[in-house]
Structure 1
Amino acid sequence: MSQKRQKEEGAHSPRDKRRRFFTLKHVISEVVRKQRIQDFQNLLEPLVRRVVKEEIEVALANHFTAMRRSYGKEVHPSESRSLQLRFSNGVSLPLFTGARLEGDGGSKMEVELVDGFTGQIVDTGPESSANVEIVVLEGDFDGDKGSEWTAEEFENNIVREREGKRPLLTGDGVVKLKDGVGSVGEIAFSDNSSWTRSRRFRLGARVTDKFEETRIREAITESIVVKDHRGELYKKHYPPALSDEVWRLEKIGKDGAFHKRLSEANVNFVKDFLILLSVDPSRLRSILGAGMSRKMWEVTFEHARTCSLDQTIYFYRPPSSEPKAGVLFNIGGQVMGLLSDGKYIPSEKLSEAEKVRFSGYSGTSNSCHQSLMTYISSIRLTATTW
């Protein structure tokens, strides 16, 4: 009996108890660890599902956008069209207060209505005849290519005149579209841009008419600096342009005595001055009067002669000549050819005696300035008969 008890006691030795205790602890740890993993999986699974869903939605949206741009129409016909305004040219710089706004190269600024996906001008439908308002925007308003904004954001960035000042944009600020295109009228800034938060302006264009279920995105220009330089309005141009007012020439002040005398004689532009200078310089000298000294006259004369000439050809027929005869010359007074009995003879085929004879036609009459008319608009003349 004692041996049997010893064996039974031996079966439950301290080593066996430690092994059994260690095994139980290990099992409990495993259970806790697996529970934590399960909890983590339960937390991670919805997060992964959401991320995957969002990525799929973004990929599908990009795919549909690419399809719309490729085919120039919406994927869903029930959606409204994507229309937007666009300035076809930039603003000519530098820009000063009071100066008329012009496009690049002195061209007229134009606004176009285009399809937002194809970029093509929309020349049909009621939107193509909409009224467009030109406004001034903050220079830092987001105008990067491809950016989007709401009508409210556009409205909030419109710049108003300072208190006690005239409207910031003066002139005809409304453009009427025709077949999706409209020219901006004569407008000018009345104030400089130095007082704004960015010290710059942008021009904006928005449709004032309402179209059901159609939002027409506004147009904006690049940011521009408008300088307040009163003297700029009276500066001379070097060289002067044919279209410049005559007071842009040296020694002729704006609204001064010489300017008034020339205006009374219908010499309003540099072009008029050059024509009369070529046709009848003595009459031009007489119009300016004794107040213009010889030295002043030479300065004005030389300044006018630096003007870049265009390719317009002028025709003069002396009163005593036949109806189909006369002289063709450029605005600088150079004889370009002759019309004789309805036939054109270029200057290179004229003898020196004929050139001298016909160049004298331009100065034979004080009234020949009024007799001039534009005859041919290109210098590329060919033999012509009437």
Structure 2
Amino acid sequence: MAGKRFFEDFDSDLQKPTEKRMKSRPSFASVIGEVIMVNSLNNLCSALEPLIRKVVNEELERGLKRRSSSFRIEAQETPTLKLIFSKKLAQPIFTGSKITDVDKNPLEIQLVEMKNGSFVKVNLNRLIKLDIVALHGDFPTGNSGENWSSEEFESNIVKERDGKRPLLAGEVTVIVRNGVGTISDIEFTDNSSWIRSRKFRIGAKVARGSCQDVRIREAMTEAFVVRDHRGELYKKHHPPMLEDDVWRLEKIGKEGAFHKKLSAEGVNTVQDFLKLSIVDPPRLKMIMGPGMSEKMWEVTLKHARECVMGNKFYIFRGPNFFLVLNPICQVIKAVVDGHIFPARDITTINRSYLEGLVRQAYTNWSSLEEIEGTLNEPALLTQGDSMVQQHGVNHTDVGRSNQQTGSGLENWEMVNGGYGSTPVELGFRFSITESYSQGEFSSF
């Protein structure tokens, strides 16, 4: 019995450590369960990640909207004071060329405030320093009008391209005194073709550290294109001047076919072009050739006729005639056989005879007598009695011409009361003034 118990006790002792070891090892099922749990957590995190991101983004957007809303409220609170450019710019604008206002004066900036619907200049009794900058031409955008913030203004300042000079050269800092600042010298160093709107504006803002105790709205000009300076060499003039090269006219390119044809015939200036268009239009069209269509011809001629005539007159004298012509060979006064013909009566002269005289004047243009004057005091008034002596015109002739031609000098006796000079002088004076004011010019 004792031996049996011994073996039983021995067997039980052997089983006890095994049972402990079995209890300390995780079961296969528990391992599988843990793996499944970890995978489930990973899947859950993956599933929750987009949702969490969405929530975070929405909160961020709300915060940004609240901030931008506060900015808008701040921007919509229109400052009492503002800067303005007093006049628009003269255009076109080229790189390297001084920018002026429409009256060719330096740009002027004024400090103003709105009172009773209009701007009133303000003097803060202190100096205000301004920075002059270039802006994008499409700023401000939309319907915001002038409701921009300082941050928006700053973000629309255009800087120079890499490797280029500063975009604005000259006076980029201006001092406002007594409510006015002047930009005497400013120019662009680069064209505007490379920015999104293809246009610039010039802006003016209070410099940092100047006038910090009051908000002053920035000023800006209208949007404009800046072209390369080389384009100015080929630009057309509006209106053209008499002494301009003929290629300044529309449809006639510099060194182009039309330009070469005209130059070969001695038509080098706008004045030459206009004179020939008056004296011999068919010849002028023949010089231009079939390459100039009727539509192109009309455009060129219209542009040429916008020319500023100036205050010069030309005298063509002969044995029994005396013609006064304007700079493009139009007759504005004639004395033929002692009879005075103002512009409106030129058509009463024999057309063939007058055409012949005008052609002679055109052919001998360089030898004509050139005089200068104004509408009120043309130099014809200085011609004196020599004019009368050369053509044998006297008081009797003038009276006869009035009766025969109805030249419009019927009120001569009333106007000339007590006048010591010849009637011919006064007749010319009235005719020139009247002709220019009414545009009564005849081709011959």
Normalized against structure 2, the TM-score is what?
0.41
Structure with bigger gyration radius: 2
**Which protein has the bigger helix share?**
2
Normalized against structure 1, the TM-score is what?
0.46
